[in-house]
């Protein structure tokens, strides 16, 4: 087909043919595979997506520092804000990547995040301290 001509016999693209056609539950599950910061960014795509990230079945947050303590502090504030906005919606998996947490403040943040995850009734907690990775499966009580 020559450049500039439209294919009149081809399929017509529509919004309902894309990922937006998926049910909310599937989108929430997909968000679980995306880092939390990126999942939150999807709220600008449409009104329907505005709060979908809050119901994601898994949450992956990162607070990994380099030599700059200020950047770690900003990441900690970001994670705190994200958890506050999300509330206590149930979670299947909560993954925290951290490293370079400074002083007692970093430990306090980590403990606070784990407590928040427990309140969300997590089934699996993954703590990734760069050289060490710990996964804990939580079983439901009968």
The model's pLDDT over 85-100, given as tens digits with 9 standing for 90+, comes to 889 988 899 998 887 6
Q: Is residue 108 part of a domain?
A: yes
pLDDT, position 13: 45
Residue 114, token pair as written in the block? 């784990």
pLDDT, position 136: 63
Low-confidence ranges of the chain (pLDDT < 50): 10-14
pLDDT, position 54: 85
pLDDT, position 125: 92
The answer to whether the CB of 73 falls within 8 A of the CB of 109 is no
Q: Please, what's the b/e burial string for 90-125 (b: 16 or more CB within 10 A of its CB; e: otherwise)?
A: ebebbbbbbbbbeeeebeebbeebbebbeebebbeb
| CA 73/CA 33 separation, integer angstroms | 25
Residue 135, token pair as written in the block? 């996964």
CA angle 106, 107, 113 (to 5 degrees): 90
pLDDT, position 12: 46
Q: Is residue 8 part of a domain?
A: no
> Which among 37, 27, 81, 84 has a CA at the least distance from the CA of 59?
37
Range of the domain at 128: 17-137
Count structural domains, the chain. 1
| CA 10/CA 106 separation, integer angstroms | 56
Q: Is residue 91 part of a domain?
A: yes
Q: Is residue 52 part of a domain?
A: yes
The model carries a pTM of 0.67
Q: Is residue 3 part of a domain?
A: no
Q: Is residue 84 part of a domain?
A: yes
Residue 60, token pair as written in the block? 């992956």
The answer to whether the CB of 40 falls within 8 A of the CB of 82 is yes
Q: Is residue 7 part of a domain?
A: no
Q: Is residue 78 part of a domain?
A: yes
Q: Which helix (H) or strand (E) holds 76?
A: helix 69-86
């Amino acid at each position: 087909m020559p450049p500039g001509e439209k294919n009149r016999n081809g399929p017509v693209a529509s919004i309902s043919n894309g990922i937006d056609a998926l049910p909310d539950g599937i989108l929430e599950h997909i968000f679980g595979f995306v880092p939390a910061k990126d999942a939150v960014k999807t709220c600008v795509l449409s009104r329907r997506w505005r709060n979908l990230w809050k119901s994601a079945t898994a949450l992956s947050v990162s607070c990994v520092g380099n030599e700059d303590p200020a950047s770690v502090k900003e990441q900690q504030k970001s994670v705190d804000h994200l958890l506050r906005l999300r509330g206590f919606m149930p979670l299947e998996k909560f993954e925290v990547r951290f490293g370079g947490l400074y002083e007692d403040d970093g430990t306090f943040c980590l403990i606070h995040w784990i407590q928040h995850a427990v309140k969300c009734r997590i089934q699996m907690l993954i703590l990734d301290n760069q050289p060490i990775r710990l996964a804990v499966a939580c079983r439901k009580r009968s």
